[in-house]
Protein backbone atom coordinates (compact mmCIF):
# COMPACT_ATOMS: atom_id res chain seq x y z
CA UNK A 1 0.00 0.00 0.00
CA UNK A 2 1.30 3.45 -0.98
CA UNK A 3 0.67 6.27 1.51
CA UNK A 4 0.73 9.94 0.59
CA UNK A 5 0.19 12.61 3.26
CA UNK A 6 0.22 16.38 3.62
CA UNK A 7 3.09 16.37 6.11
CA UNK A 8 2.75 20.10 6.67
CA UNK A 9 -0.36 19.40 8.73
CA UNK A 10 0.01 17.92 12.23
CA UNK A 11 -3.33 16.14 11.75
CA UNK A 12 -1.97 14.41 8.65
CA UNK A 13 1.15 13.27 10.50
CA UNK A 14 -0.92 11.80 13.35
CA UNK A 15 -3.30 10.17 10.88
CA UNK A 16 -0.44 8.71 8.84
CA UNK A 17 1.13 7.17 11.94
CA UNK A 18 -2.20 5.60 12.88
CA UNK A 19 -2.81 4.18 9.41
CA UNK A 20 0.74 2.82 9.06
CA UNK A 21 0.59 1.09 12.45
CA UNK A 22 -2.79 -0.44 11.68
CA UNK A 23 -1.67 -1.79 8.31
CA UNK A 24 1.63 -3.19 9.56
CA UNK A 25 -0.13 -4.97 12.43
CA UNK A 26 -2.21 -6.76 9.82
CA UNK A 27 0.72 -7.72 7.62
CA UNK A 28 0.15 -5.09 4.94
CA UNK A 29 3.36 -3.57 3.57
CA UNK A 30 3.55 0.22 3.38
CA UNK A 31 5.45 2.46 0.95
CA UNK A 32 5.96 6.23 1.35
CA UNK A 33 7.92 8.93 -0.42
CA UNK A 34 11.43 9.37 0.93
CA UNK A 35 10.97 13.14 0.98
CA UNK A 36 8.04 12.76 3.40
CA UNK A 37 9.65 10.12 5.61
CA UNK A 38 11.60 12.63 7.73
CA UNK A 39 8.33 14.22 8.88
CA UNK A 40 6.61 10.94 9.69
CA UNK A 41 7.25 8.62 12.67
CA UNK A 42 7.84 5.48 10.64
CA UNK A 43 9.20 2.07 11.65
CA UNK A 44 12.13 0.71 9.60
CA UNK A 45 9.92 -1.83 7.82
CA UNK A 46 8.26 0.94 5.77
CA UNK A 47 9.60 1.09 2.20
CA UNK A 48 10.90 4.48 1.05
CA UNK A 49 10.81 5.46 -2.64
CA UNK A 50 11.85 8.47 -4.68
CA UNK A 51 9.23 11.02 -5.65
CA UNK A 52 8.52 10.12 -9.25
CA UNK A 53 5.34 9.48 -11.21
CA UNK A 54 5.69 5.70 -11.04
CA UNK A 55 6.29 5.61 -7.29
CA UNK A 56 3.03 3.73 -6.68
CA UNK A 57 3.59 1.00 -9.27
CA UNK A 58 3.14 -2.49 -7.89
CA UNK A 59 0.96 -1.31 -4.99
CA UNK A 60 -2.61 -2.49 -4.52
CA UNK A 61 -3.92 0.84 -3.26
CA UNK A 62 -2.91 4.48 -2.86
CA UNK A 63 -4.16 6.09 0.37
CA UNK A 64 -4.04 9.89 0.47
CA UNK A 65 -4.35 11.89 3.70
CA UNK A 66 -5.00 15.60 3.19
CA UNK A 67 -7.18 18.20 1.50
CA UNK A 68 -8.14 18.68 -2.13
CA UNK A 69 -4.62 19.74 -3.15
CA UNK A 70 -3.06 16.59 -1.70
CA UNK A 71 -5.73 14.45 -3.33
CA UNK A 72 -4.98 16.00 -6.73
CA UNK A 73 -1.29 15.36 -6.11
CA UNK A 74 -2.17 11.74 -5.39
CA UNK A 75 -4.12 11.59 -8.65
CA UNK A 76 -0.81 12.08 -10.50
CA UNK A 77 0.53 8.86 -9.00
CA UNK A 78 -2.79 7.02 -9.38
CA UNK A 79 -3.16 7.86 -13.06
CA UNK A 80 0.40 6.90 -13.98
CA UNK A 81 0.39 3.61 -12.10
CA UNK A 82 -3.26 2.62 -12.54
CA UNK A 83 -3.50 2.09 -8.77
CA UNK A 84 -6.88 3.02 -7.18
CA UNK A 85 -6.76 6.07 -4.91
CA UNK A 86 -8.57 6.20 -1.56
CA UNK A 87 -8.76 9.71 -0.15
CA UNK A 88 -9.17 10.64 3.51
CA UNK A 89 -10.23 14.28 3.82
CA UNK A 90 -8.28 16.39 6.31
CA UNK A 91 -9.22 19.68 4.64
CA UNK A 92 -12.47 21.58 4.18
CA UNK A 93 -14.56 20.13 1.34
CA UNK A 94 -12.67 17.18 -0.11
CA UNK A 95 -15.07 16.06 -2.86
CA UNK A 96 -12.56 13.47 -4.07
CA UNK A 97 -12.20 11.97 -0.59
CA UNK A 98 -14.08 8.85 0.37
CA UNK A 99 -13.59 9.14 4.13
CA UNK A 100 -13.12 11.72 6.88
CA UNK A 101 -10.49 11.81 9.61
CA UNK A 102 -12.87 10.08 12.06
CA UNK A 103 -13.04 7.08 9.69
CA UNK A 104 -9.37 6.05 9.91
CA UNK A 105 -10.06 2.76 11.68
CA UNK A 106 -12.69 1.91 9.05
CA UNK A 107 -10.23 2.79 6.28
CA UNK A 108 -7.60 0.44 7.72
CA UNK A 109 -10.17 -2.34 8.13
CA UNK A 110 -11.44 -1.98 4.56
CA UNK A 111 -7.91 -1.97 3.16
CA UNK A 112 -6.97 -5.09 5.14
CA UNK A 113 -10.15 -6.98 4.17
CA UNK A 114 -10.15 -5.56 0.62
CA UNK A 115 -13.80 -4.56 0.98
CA UNK A 116 -13.91 -1.60 -1.34
CA UNK A 117 -15.05 -0.99 -4.88
CA UNK A 118 -13.24 0.84 -7.67
CA UNK A 119 -14.73 3.35 -10.10
CA UNK A 120 -13.11 5.20 -12.98
CA UNK A 121 -13.24 8.97 -13.39
CA UNK A 122 -12.80 10.81 -16.67
CA UNK A 123 -9.69 12.90 -17.16
CA UNK A 124 -8.67 15.54 -19.70
CA UNK A 125 -5.83 15.47 -22.20
CA UNK A 126 -4.61 19.01 -22.87
CA UNK A 127 -2.30 20.38 -25.53
CA UNK A 128 -1.12 23.86 -26.43
CA UNK A 129 -0.36 24.94 -29.99
CA UNK A 130 1.56 28.02 -31.02
CA UNK A 131 2.03 28.88 -34.68
CA UNK A 132 0.57 25.47 -35.50
CA UNK A 133 3.15 23.56 -33.47
CA UNK A 134 2.42 21.57 -30.29
CA UNK A 135 4.48 23.29 -27.58
CA UNK A 136 3.04 21.73 -24.42
CA UNK A 137 0.98 18.70 -23.34
CA UNK A 138 -0.64 18.03 -19.97
CA UNK A 139 -3.59 16.35 -18.30
CA UNK A 140 -6.17 17.12 -15.60
CA UNK A 141 -8.66 15.30 -13.40
CA UNK A 142 -10.74 18.36 -12.49
CA UNK A 143 -10.12 21.09 -15.04
CA UNK A 144 -7.87 22.89 -17.46
CA UNK A 145 -8.33 26.65 -17.17
CA UNK A 146 -7.15 29.37 -19.51
CA UNK A 147 -6.78 32.53 -17.43
CA UNK A 148 -5.54 36.08 -17.77
CA UNK A 149 -2.06 36.68 -16.42
CA UNK A 150 -2.48 40.38 -15.58
CA UNK A 151 -5.16 41.38 -13.10
CA UNK A 152 -5.73 44.79 -14.72
CA UNK A 153 -6.29 43.48 -18.29
CA UNK A 154 -8.98 41.25 -19.76
CA UNK A 155 -8.06 38.18 -21.76
CA UNK A 156 -9.65 38.14 -25.23
CA UNK A 157 -10.49 34.61 -26.39
CA UNK A 158 -12.52 32.70 -28.95
CA UNK A 159 -14.07 29.43 -27.77
CA UNK A 160 -14.61 26.46 -30.07
CA UNK A 161 -16.39 23.10 -29.93
CA UNK A 162 -15.67 20.34 -32.43
CA UNK A 163 -13.84 22.58 -34.85
CA UNK A 164 -16.53 25.27 -34.97
CA UNK A 165 -16.36 28.71 -33.26
CA UNK A 166 -18.86 29.40 -30.47
CA UNK A 167 -18.17 32.88 -29.11
CA UNK A 168 -15.55 35.59 -28.76
CA UNK A 169 -15.36 37.58 -25.54
CA UNK A 170 -13.09 39.30 -23.09
CA UNK A 171 -12.97 38.24 -19.47
CA UNK A 172 -10.92 36.43 -16.87
CA UNK A 173 -10.72 33.21 -18.87
CA UNK A 174 -12.39 29.85 -19.52
CA UNK A 175 -12.59 26.62 -17.50
CA UNK A 176 -12.78 23.27 -19.32
CA UNK A 177 -13.80 20.60 -16.82
CA UNK A 178 -14.79 16.99 -16.27
CA UNK A 179 -17.88 15.99 -14.26
CA UNK A 180 -15.49 15.38 -11.35
CA UNK A 181 -14.28 18.97 -11.69
CA UNK A 182 -17.79 20.38 -11.95
CA UNK A 183 -17.83 20.89 -8.17
CA UNK A 184 -14.44 22.63 -8.16
CA UNK A 185 -13.31 25.68 -10.17
CA UNK A 186 -16.10 25.30 -12.74
CA UNK A 187 -18.67 25.45 -9.94
CA UNK A 188 -17.13 28.64 -8.54
CA UNK A 189 -17.28 30.18 -12.03
CA UNK A 190 -21.03 29.52 -12.26
CA UNK A 191 -21.04 26.16 -14.03
CA UNK A 192 -23.50 23.32 -13.42
CA UNK A 193 -22.98 20.43 -11.04
CA UNK A 194 -22.69 17.25 -13.12
CA UNK A 195 -23.13 13.82 -11.56
CA UNK A 196 -19.95 11.71 -11.86
CA UNK A 197 -21.61 8.93 -13.86
CA UNK A 198 -22.58 11.42 -16.58
CA UNK A 199 -20.00 11.37 -19.37
CA UNK A 200 -19.58 14.95 -20.58
CA UNK A 201 -17.16 17.84 -20.94
CA UNK A 202 -17.85 21.33 -19.56
CA UNK A 203 -16.80 24.74 -20.84
CA UNK A 204 -17.41 27.59 -18.37
CA UNK A 205 -16.46 31.24 -19.05
CA UNK A 206 -14.97 33.19 -16.14
CA UNK A 207 -16.37 36.71 -15.62
CA UNK A 208 -17.03 37.15 -19.33
CA UNK A 209 -18.03 40.55 -20.76
CA UNK A 210 -20.48 39.16 -23.33
CA UNK A 211 -24.18 38.61 -23.91
CA UNK A 212 -23.66 34.95 -24.79
CA UNK A 213 -20.99 33.42 -22.61
CA UNK A 214 -22.87 30.69 -20.80
CA UNK A 215 -21.63 27.36 -19.45
CA UNK A 216 -21.74 24.59 -22.06
CA UNK A 217 -22.08 20.84 -21.52
CA UNK A 218 -20.83 18.86 -24.51
CA UNK A 219 -20.39 15.28 -25.60
CA UNK A 220 -17.50 13.36 -23.99
CA UNK A 221 -16.21 12.88 -27.54
CA UNK A 222 -16.09 16.62 -28.25
CA UNK A 223 -12.87 18.59 -28.61
CA UNK A 224 -12.94 21.93 -26.82
CA UNK A 225 -10.58 24.73 -27.80
CA UNK A 226 -9.76 28.19 -26.48
CA UNK A 227 -7.78 30.56 -28.67
CA UNK A 228 -5.97 33.51 -27.09
CA UNK A 229 -6.42 36.39 -29.50
CA UNK A 230 -3.33 37.92 -31.16
CA UNK A 231 -3.64 41.44 -29.73
CA UNK A 232 -4.51 40.49 -26.17
CA UNK A 233 -2.09 40.18 -23.21
CA UNK A 234 -0.66 36.69 -22.70
CA UNK A 235 -2.56 34.19 -20.61
CA UNK A 236 -1.81 31.20 -18.39
CA UNK A 237 -2.94 27.58 -18.64
CA UNK A 238 -3.52 25.88 -15.30
CA UNK A 239 -4.16 22.13 -14.99
CA UNK A 240 -5.92 21.20 -11.74
CA UNK A 241 -4.55 24.41 -10.24
CA UNK A 242 -1.20 22.64 -9.81
CA UNK A 243 0.72 22.92 -13.08
CA UNK A 244 0.90 26.06 -15.21
CA UNK A 245 2.40 27.24 -18.49
CA UNK A 246 2.38 30.70 -20.07
CA UNK A 247 0.19 31.20 -23.14
CA UNK A 248 1.51 33.83 -25.56
CA UNK A 249 -0.93 35.88 -27.62
CA UNK A 250 -2.15 33.66 -30.47
CA UNK A 251 -1.80 30.40 -28.52
CA UNK A 252 -4.45 27.70 -28.84
CA UNK A 253 -5.44 25.27 -26.08
CA UNK A 254 -7.20 22.03 -27.06
CA UNK A 255 -8.96 19.86 -24.48
CA UNK A 256 -10.39 16.38 -25.05
CA UNK A 257 -11.35 13.36 -22.99
CA UNK A 258 -8.25 11.81 -21.47
CA UNK A 259 -7.03 8.45 -22.72
CA UNK A 260 -6.19 7.32 -19.15
CA UNK A 261 -8.77 7.59 -16.33
CA UNK A 262 -8.12 7.95 -12.62
CA UNK A 263 -9.38 5.05 -10.50
CA UNK A 264 -11.00 5.87 -7.16
CA UNK A 265 -11.60 3.38 -4.35
CA UNK A 266 -15.06 3.60 -2.76
CA UNK A 267 -16.00 2.32 0.70
CA UNK A 268 -19.77 2.72 0.54
CA UNK A 269 -22.65 3.33 -1.84
CA UNK A 270 -23.77 6.78 -0.67
CA UNK A 271 -25.45 8.65 -3.52
CA UNK A 272 -23.78 11.67 -5.06
CA UNK A 273 -26.84 13.69 -4.02
CA UNK A 274 -26.17 12.91 -0.36
CA UNK A 275 -22.48 13.70 -0.84
CA UNK A 276 -23.37 17.04 -2.43
CA UNK A 277 -25.70 17.96 0.45
CA UNK A 278 -23.13 16.95 3.07
CA UNK A 279 -20.09 18.61 1.49
CA UNK A 280 -21.84 21.95 0.86
CA UNK A 281 -24.03 21.77 3.99
CA UNK A 282 -27.10 22.37 1.83
CA UNK A 283 -30.38 23.14 3.66
CA UNK A 284 -32.82 20.26 3.25
CA UNK A 285 -35.01 20.77 6.33
CA UNK A 286 -38.67 20.32 5.45
CA UNK A 287 -38.10 17.56 2.89
CA UNK A 288 -40.81 14.92 3.23
CA UNK A 289 -39.77 12.53 0.51
CA UNK A 290 -41.66 11.13 -2.42
CA UNK A 291 -45.16 9.77 -1.71
CA UNK A 292 -45.35 5.98 -1.41
Q: Is 169 annotated as a binding residue?
A: no
Instruction: Give yes or no: residues 203 and 275 share one domain.
Output: no
Instruction: Give yes or no: residues 96 and 200 share one domain.
Output: no
CATH of the domain at 27: 3.40.50.10330
Instruction: Give yes or no: residues 106 and 194 share one domain.
Output: no
Q: What is the pLDDT of residue 292?
A: 64
Q: Given 39, 68, 109, 138, which residue is catalytic? A: 68
Long-range contacts of 29-37 (CB under 8 A, 24+ apart): 29/1, 30/1, 30/2, 30/3, 31/1, 31/2, 31/3, 31/55, 31/56, 31/59, 32/2, 32/3, 32/4, 32/5, 33/4, 36/4, 36/5, 36/7
Q: What is the pLDDT of residue 148?
A: 95
Residue 228's nearest CA partner among 279, 159, 180 is 159
Instruction: Give yes or no: residues 31 and 116 share one domain.
Output: yes
pLDDT in tens, 141-191: 999 999 999 888 899 999 999 999 999 999 999 999 999 999 999 999 999
CATH of the domain at 128: 2.60.200.30
Instruction: Give yes or no: residues 208 and 178 share one domain.
Output: yes
Domain hosting 109: range is: 2-121+261-280
Instruction: Give yes or no: residues 130 and 224 share one domain.
Output: yes
Instruction: Give yes or no: residues 233 and 141 share one domain.
Output: yes
Q: Is 185 annotated as a binding residue?
A: yes
Annotation says 68 is catalytic: yes
Q: Is 188 annotated as a binding residue?
A: yes
Q: What is the pLDDT of residue 80?
A: 93
pTM, 2 dp: 0.93
Is position 291 within any domain? Answer: no
pLDDT in tens, 247-280: 999 999 999 999 999 999 999 877 899 989 988 8
pLDDT in tens, 187-222: 999 999 999 999 999 999 999 998 888 999 999 999
- Lowest mean pLDDT across 31-40, 124-133, 200-209: 31-40
Question: Based on the structure, what is the number of domains in the chain?
Answer: 2
Is position 155 within any domain? Answer: yes
Instruction: Give yes or no: residues 48 and 158 share one domain.
Output: no
Q: Is 186 annotated as a binding residue?
A: yes
Amino acid sequence: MFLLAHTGRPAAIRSAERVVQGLLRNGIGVRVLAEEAADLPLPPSVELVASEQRAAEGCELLVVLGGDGTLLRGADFARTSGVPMLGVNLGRVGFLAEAERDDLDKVVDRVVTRTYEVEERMTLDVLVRNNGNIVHTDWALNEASVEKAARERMLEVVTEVDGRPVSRFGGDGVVCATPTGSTAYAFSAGGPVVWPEVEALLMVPISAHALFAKPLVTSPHSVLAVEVQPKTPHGVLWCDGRRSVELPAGARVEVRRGAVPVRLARLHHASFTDRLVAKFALPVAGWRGAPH
